[in-house]
Amino acid sequence: MRTAIRPTHLHFRDLANHFLALSSGDRFLRFGWVMTDVEIVAYVESIFVSADNAWAVVEPDRDISGVMHLESMGCGVNLGLSVSAWARNLGIGTLLLQRAGLLARARALTTLFVRNLRLNAALQQLALRLGMRVACAPNALTTSLEVAPADGHITQLDEFRGKITLADDSLRSEWNAVSGDPSLLDLPEPIFH
Ligand X SMILES: CC(C)(COP(=O)(O)OP(=O)(O)OC[C@H]1O[C@@H](n2cnc3c(N)ncnc32)[C@H](O)[C@@H]1OP(=O)(O)O)[C@@H](O)C(=O)NCCC(=O)NCCS
Residues that bind ligand X (CB under 6 A): 26, 29-30, 80-83, 88-94, 114, 120-123, 125-126, 149
CB of 142 to ligand X, least distance (A): 13
Taking the least distance from each CB to ligand X, the nearer of 24 and 183 is 24
Taking the least distance from each CB to ligand X, the nearer of 11 and 18 is 18
**Entry field: residues in the chain:** 193
The CA distance from 45 to 52, in Å, is 14
The CA distance from 153 to 103, in Å, is 28
CB of 96 to ligand X, least distance (A): 7
Taking the least distance from each CB to ligand X, the nearer of 51 and 90 is 90
Taking the least distance from each CB to ligand X, the nearer of 125 and 179 is 125
Contact between residue 171 and residue 113 where contact means Cβ atoms under 8 Å apart: yes
Give the side-chain half-sphere CA count within 13 A for 176.
Answer: 11
Nearest residue to ligand X on Cβ basis: 93
Contact between residue 138 and residue 174 where contact means Cβ atoms under 8 Å apart: yes
